[in-house]
Amino acid sequence: MIDSNAYTGNGINDYDYIHDDQVEWYKQNVERLNAREARTVDSMAYFHIPLQECRTAYELYVAGSDEVKYFFGRNDEKMINKVCCSDYPSKLFDTMVELNSTKAVFCGHDHYNNMSLEYRGIRLT
């Protein structure tokens, strides 16, 4: 579980993100577990506010891209962006791809979105 924080303080829809020090903590712990087990340990991540890559995956899915694999669900969000993520980029997703440990990410926040898509080898639900 990772704290995706809440708001930046600049308004109610100005969502915060997973900061660099949190990404470094994640990376150190994945590398520590991998070293201890002498292999890449599979993991999953849980947090509240979706990463920007969740929006990217959804937009690719809507566009019919083969970069995304659909598993199940619908996105019935009423917000214009359909995935309510931070406007600030987090390094977490790229770090997850690089380390090849995290196989799935589960987010809350979007109340009418229960889609499950795979993007760049990580299942986003």
Residue 67 belongs to a domain: yes
Residues spanned by the domain of 74: 20-124
Residue 102 belongs to a domain: yes
* CA angle at 58 for the pair 53 and 59, rounded to the nearest 5°: 95
Residue 5 belongs to a domain: no
pLDDT of residue 81: 82
Instruction: Tell me the per-residue pLDDT of 74-96, one tens digit each, with 9 for 90 and over.
Output: 999 887 789 988 889 999 999 99
Residue ranges of the chain with pLDDT lower than 70? 11-12
91 φ/ψ angles, rounded to the nearest 5 degrees: -85, 0
Residue 110 belongs to a domain: yes
pLDDT of residue 102: 98
Number of folded domains that form the chain: 1
Residue 52 belongs to a domain: yes
Helices (H) and strands (E) in the chain, counts: 3, 5
Helices within the chain (DSSP H only):
20-37, 52-62, 92-99
Q: Are 4 and 72 in contact (CB under 8 A)?
A: no
